Amino acid sequence: MREIKLMKGNEAIAEAFIRAGVDAYFGYPITPQSEVIEYLMYEEPHKRTGMVVLQAESEIAAINMVYGAACTGKKVVTSSSSPGISLMQEGISYIAGSEVPCVLVNVVRGGPGLGTIQPSQADYFQSTKGGGHGDYHLIVIAPSSVQEMVDFVPLAFDLAFKYRNPVIIQSDGVIGQMMEKVELFEQMPRMTNEEIKQKYDDWALTGRTKGREHNIITSLDLVSERQEKFNLKLKEKYDRVEAEEVRYEKIMCDDADYIFVAYGSSSRICQKSVKLAREAGIKVGLFRPITLYPFPFNEIKQMVPHLKGILTVEMSLGQMVYDVKAAVEYRILVEHYGRVGGMIPTPEAIVDALKTKIIGD
């Protein structure tokens, strides 16, 4: 029987780090995700599993500690919120550019600038379209419950190591702060140094032992022909990710005339909106992208012949809506509805938006 607890999203994900056999967490406090590092410091995971937890002097230092530790083949994670993630972008670009696996968590708050400490989904562009400099992608997975805050931690590490690519768990202030019932998975063992050496000796920095060349972690190549070749190699990797790793959830879409497309906490609110709309006789479904990159373009496109229109619901001025419009190739009406600045849309307002923007009541 798995352990069941009532936990805050931020605390649950911190517990999941420990249980997933993570080797190190480096972070810097920022609202609304400071409970992550607080929980870790309180739990003293060095006593439970040997996991390292260190509070860095800045998000810039934190991401570079992640970079260094992850260079060695260890499982390493950091968490922050929007302004902190902005500070990390240079490091994230280097990590992607040197193909180092690691996991990041963004408990998104409102912006731009210092914005607000309240929930938001306005970092969609930043996470899915780059964020840092250069041609690269993060794999972006968006939990919509405290349970998924937990379950996506092992998934994120599997993807990070499978593709040697940073993976970001794109949460938001609602999920980080709310409490829900959560089923915790059993403690997974941390890999030993010998296991890491055996498994990742072709790239990880573990010390140049006899019989192998020195390993180098770098994102630099001053020879343009080689750098182009490397960029194309990354492209092949992203193509594989796009082909194999799309994840999504469909709720009551089979007979739907209209759908909401929403992820994270917005998708939770939309579940209620679906119910309200159906009670009013409107056949609505919910399509929830779980991976924001790779985005489920094809899966949305396939639904187009059966649909009259789509309303995307995001706590932003409309960011994912561009991907949804691209997915349907502008063949049906796609509109955006959202609240910003830390305001959260109500189920009723979403149904009203569907009526006015899509159905045309």
Residues at the site binding another protein, with contacts judged by CB under 8 A: 23-24, 26, 52, 54, 56-58, 60-62, 64-72, 74, 76, 90-91, 94, 98, 193, 205-210, 214-220
Of the pair 2, 210, the CB lying nearest another protein is at 210
Q: How far apart are CA 153 and CA 175, in angstroms?
A: 15
Torsion-angle region of 332 (φ positive above 0: left; ψ -120 to 50: alpha; else: beta): beta
Quote the least distance from Cβ 100 to another protein, whole Å.
9
d(CA 36, CA 14): 5
Nearest to 257 by CA among 243, 273, 277, 233: 277
User: Min. distance of Cβ 221 from another protein in angstroms?
Assistant: 10
Calculated CA dihedral for residues 118, 107, 17, 239, nearest 10 degrees: 160
CB of 72 to another protein, least distance (A): 6
CB 207 → another protein: shortest distance, Å? 5
End-to-end CA distance of the chain: 51
CB of 191 to another protein, least distance (A): 11
Q: Kindly tell me which of 52 and 276 has the beta carbon lying closer to another protein.
A: 52
Nearest approach, Cβ of residue 70 and another protein (Å): 7
Contacts of residue 332, defined as CB under 8 A and 6 or more positions apart, other chains included, come to: 304, 307, 308, 309, 310
* Cβ proximity to another protein, 70 vs 358, nearer residue: 70
Give whichever of 58 and 302 is closer to another protein, judged by the CB atom: 58
- Considering the complex, state which of residue 225 and residue 236 has its C-beta at the smaller distance from another protein: 225
Of 1 and 223, which CB lies nearer to another protein in the complex structure? 223
CB 103 within 8 A of CB 27: no
Task: In whole angstroms, give the CA distance from residue 337 to residue 314.
Answer: 7
